[in-house]
Structure 1
Amino acid sequence: MTEQIFPLLLFSMAASVTPGPNNLIAAASGARFGFWRTLPQMLGVGVGFPLLVIAIGLGLGQVFAAVPGLHLALKVAGAAYLLFLAYGLMRAAGPDAETARTGESAPTFLQSAAFQWVNPKAWTVALGVIPAFVRPDGEILPQVLLVAGVFMITAVPSLAVWALFGAALSRMLSQEKLRQRVNGLLAALVALSVILLFI
């Protein structure tokens, strides 16, 4: 599998950095709560997604092939969660004392790790990467662990770029009206990702 590490790394970097629910959530959280308070979300994705890859690599993908309704149920649950996040983002104010007063908090490690199991982009990438980089004629477990490890390495830096973008954007937006428009745009992008789930 050593000859596949470089292509796998390139695939992982491309899949990790391109827009999707995890990255949009990181950008929105960075804008709302700042980079450091978004770190648990980044780490949650960095652990949750590789666990999903391992589960699919060890046979969970076959369960979804056998029970298509289960996949649809996960899509609906993921869509509902994304719409909930988009609604919260649209109503969010600036990253100031108001956040502490209202008790709002950034996405947690466990929330973000669990979200991978209903995140359609995560499923699409995981279901695509296993047949592409795991050879059935070799030992399956070491190959699956390698794929998961590569994604673990690339996920957090990619999310950090999005969170830094959100945090920088928030600092530039001193006017509340402009900040609300950017929040609305980010919320619309998160909501749009819901539409893409069913295409």
Structure 2
Amino acid sequence: MENSLFLALTAYVCVMSITPGPNNVMLMSSGLMFGFRRTCPHMLGIPLGVILQLWLTGAGLGALLALEPRLQMAMKVAGSLYLLWLAARLWQAAELKETRARRPITFLQAMAFQFVNPKAWLTAATAVAVFAPPGDRYLGHLALICAVFAAVGLPCIAVWAGFGAALRPWLRRPGTALWINRAMAALTALTIVLFWI
């Protein structure tokens, strides 16, 4: 891959990974509720799910998704329902002691969520279409795209988990936990809008 294309890929991955979306809002919520260390499995599941999406997109699944609107709709509905369920969990988590009884999203759950996350599919399809031109080096380009998503994407999403963890001391103040959890629930529910625009 030429240097200019590699730099463009790196910038694309950085922008798509650090901008708000369902993954980042969920990571911030998890960092807030469980701390950075307990959010790590969730954080590591995201790039692995995206890497699997990239390979599937490169193998032709991206074209199928583009041609089958019912499959796209099913993904949007499933992703929306999952986010509503998470928002309800956050809304009900009133106090820190109650939050401690809950468990963070697991590695496998985070990885699986990528398959119903339309933003992740769009990101993967665009990356493959733009940065992996057909030809004899197609698989090499696809592997490089996956490596960049892992190397650049992970630190970008870690910022969101770290930001949530930095807000964690506020949870110890009386009444603040309820307000913060409800604000995070509202943000999680609002990210559903991103699926539909």
- Report TM bin, short chain: over 0.9
Counterpart-to-counterpart distance in 2, 1:176 and 1:126 = 43
Q: What is the SS of the residue equivalent to 1:187?
A: helix
Q: Which deviates more, 71-80 or 168-177?
A: 168-177
Normalising by structure 1, we get a TM-score of 0.92
Q: Distance in 2 between matches of 1:40 and 1:93?
A: 24
Note if contact 1:32-1:94 (Cα within 8 Å) is conserved in structure 2.
no
Q: Which residue of 2 aligns with 1:89?
A: 90
The sequence identity of aligned pairs, in percent, is 42
Pick the aligned partner of 2:122 from 121, 124, 145. 124
1:38 and 1:117 map into 2 onto residues whose CA distance is: 20
Asked if structure 2 preserves the Cα contact closer than 8 Å seen for 1:31 and 1:95, the reply is no
Distance in 1 (CA, whole Å) between partners of 2:99 and 2:189 is 23
| Alignment match, 2:163 | 165
| Structure 1 residues 2 and 176: CA distance shift in structure 2, 3 A | farther
Aligned residues: 196
Change (3 A) 1:92 1:77: same
Which residue of structure 2 lines up, in the alignment, with residue 78 of structure 1? Answer: 79
Report the alpha carbon displacement of residue 138 of structure 1 after superposing the two structures with TM.
4.3
1:67-120 deviations in whole A, cap 9, x for unaligned?
221111011101100111111111113444x345x4x10000000001000011
Question: Which range moved further: 162-171 or 179-188?
Answer: 179-188
| DSSP-derived class of the 2:116 partner | coil
Structure 1: tracts of 5 or more residues without a match = none
| 4+ runs deviating over 6 angstroms | none
Q: 134-143 or 109-118: which moved more?
A: 134-143
- State the Cα RMSD in Å: 1.5
**What are the Cα deviations for residues 136-179 of structure 1, in whole angstroms up to 9, with x where unaligned?**
24422111111111101122212211111111112134324222
Q: Which runs of 5+ in 2 are unaligned?
A: none
**8 Å Cα contact 1:33/1:95 also seen in 2:** no
In the aligned structure 2, how far is the partner of 1:176 from the partner of 1:115?
33
| Residues 90 and 58 of structure 1: CA distance in aligned 2, closer, same or farther (over 3 Å) | same
Matched, 1:14 2:15: yes
Partner residue of 1:174 out of 172, 177, 185: 172
